[in-house]
């Protein structure tokens, strides 16, 4: 067979192959990196502040004072105010149907009146779980948020979510805001005690507060107690040398998931793997919001549709 006849014979097969490529369905989106997923759904954070002591309401890193000794976080606050860089910790768990994103907000002091009284305590970490359904899009669709305020969980859904009341009632509707080209949930923390809730769209009590937005890089130290353009950095709870890796380190923790603290009530602040709702039943053990968020969602909400209880990965179980 001549070279020209061989080329002509091969042409139909090549044309068929090209047509097949053109008609094939588009490939599914590659799974986003945890940092990208955390940034996509990171909340616009409304932090109320008390004019009697603004800096105690600034978001911070646990090691803001350049050490992991959590017994000195209360006392180092004034000396290290310039290091109170906006920081939010995150982690990601995954099933075949959902991503579960935990966001944790840390303050060196939980305080009620200044100076110290019996209801205050050193260190404070509260935050929220975000429930994101995998729907074939790059970052999924947000279905719910569960926040921690002191010893209670509060449930919220965004407009359009299919979820309904389950064992717990849904406490409100999330206010979504556009930021960096996408809709983000909003969150709110009280001044002084720092209970975490969904933001209700209202002005800060007293008129002063800090609005933090997520950053892909470093966060900022607020310019004062009424800074509406602050930013926070996202720090992986699972990062080397960080919160989870140090989980058995007695310099940082007094017991499992409990930060060491000796101002006010001793050892009163908790990491996500020890967050607890005090009245949601014995079936949901402390830390379930991080260690088994699929169970929490299946219990707290109705009309969950397909909800896989088996984890492709859950770093709190490793």
* 259, 123 contact by CB (below 8 A): yes
12 pLDDT higher than 70? no
- Give the pLDDT score at 159: 98
Please report the pLDDT score of residue 1 as a whole number: 42
Residue 23 has pLDDT above 80, yes or no: no
Distance, CA of 23 to CA of 25 (rounded, Å): 6
Mean pLDDT of 170-190: 98
The first and second tokens of residue 90, run together, are 């995150």
- Is residue 177 within 8 Å of residue 211, measured between CB atoms? no
Q: d(Cα 316, Cα 318) in Å, to the nearest integer?
A: 6
> Is residue 212 within 8 Å of 86, Cβ to Cβ?
yes
As a whole number of angstroms, the distance between CA 30 and CA 91 comes to: 19
Tens-place pLDDT, residues 271-286: 999 999 999 988 899 9
Q: What is the mean pLDDT of residues 241-260?
A: 98
**Which stretch of DSSP H or E encloses residue 129?**
strand 121-133
Give pLDDT, residue 114.
Answer: 54
Band (pLDDT 50/70/90 cuts) for residue 117 is low
List of residues 6+ apart from 198 with CB closer than 8 A: 145, 147, 154, 156, 171, 172, 174, 175, 185, 186, 187, 188
More confident residue, 236 or 112: 236
Task: Give the gyration radius of the chain's Cα atoms.
Answer: 23
Q: Can you give the pLDDT at residue 113?
A: 63
% of the chain at pLDDT higher than 90: 86
The predicted pLDDT at position 28 comes to 56
Q: How far apart are CA 106 and CA 269, in angstroms?
A: 10
**Rounded to 5 degrees, what angle do the CA atoms 165, 106, 85 make?**
130
């Amino acid at each position: 067979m001549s070279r020209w006849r061989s080329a002509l014979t091969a042409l139909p097969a090549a044309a068929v192959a090209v047509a097949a490529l053109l008609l094939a369905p588009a490939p599914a989106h590659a799974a986003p990196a945890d940092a990208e997923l955390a940034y996509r759904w990171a909340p616009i954070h409304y932090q109320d502040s008390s004019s009697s002591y603004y800096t105690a309401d600034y978001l911070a890193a646990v090691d803001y004072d350049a050490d992991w000794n959590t017994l000195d976080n209360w006392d180092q606050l004034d000396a290290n105010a310039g290091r109170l860089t906006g920081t939010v910790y995150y982690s990601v768990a995954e099933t075949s149907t959902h991503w579960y994103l935990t966001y944790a907000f840390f303050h060196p002091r939980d305080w009620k009146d200044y100076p110290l009284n019996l209801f205050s305590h050193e260190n404070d970490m509260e935050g929220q779980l975000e429930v994101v359904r995998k729907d074939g899009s790059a970052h999924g669709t947000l279905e719910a948020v569960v926040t921690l305020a002191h010893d209670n969980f509060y449930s919220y859904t965004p407009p359009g979510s299919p979820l309904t009341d389950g064992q717990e009632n849904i406490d409100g509707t999330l206010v979504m805001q556009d930021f960096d080209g996408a809709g983000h949930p909003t969150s709110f923390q009280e001044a002084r005690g720092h209970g975490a809730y969904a933001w209700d769209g209202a002005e800060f009590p007293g008129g002063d507060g800090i609005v933090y937005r997520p950053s892909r890089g470093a966060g900022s130290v607020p310019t004062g107690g009424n800074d509406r353009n602050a930013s926070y950095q996202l720090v992986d709870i699972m990062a080397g040398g960080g919160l989870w890796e140090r989980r058995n380190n007695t310099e940082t923790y007094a017991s499992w998931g409990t930060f060491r603290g000796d101002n006010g009530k001793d050892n009163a602040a908790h990491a996500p793997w020890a967050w607890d709702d005090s009245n949601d039943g014995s079936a949901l053990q402390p830390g379930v919001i991080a260690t088994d968020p699929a169970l929490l969602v299946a219990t707290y909400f109705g009309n969950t549709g397909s909800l896989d209880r088996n984890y492709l990965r859950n770093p709190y179980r490793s």
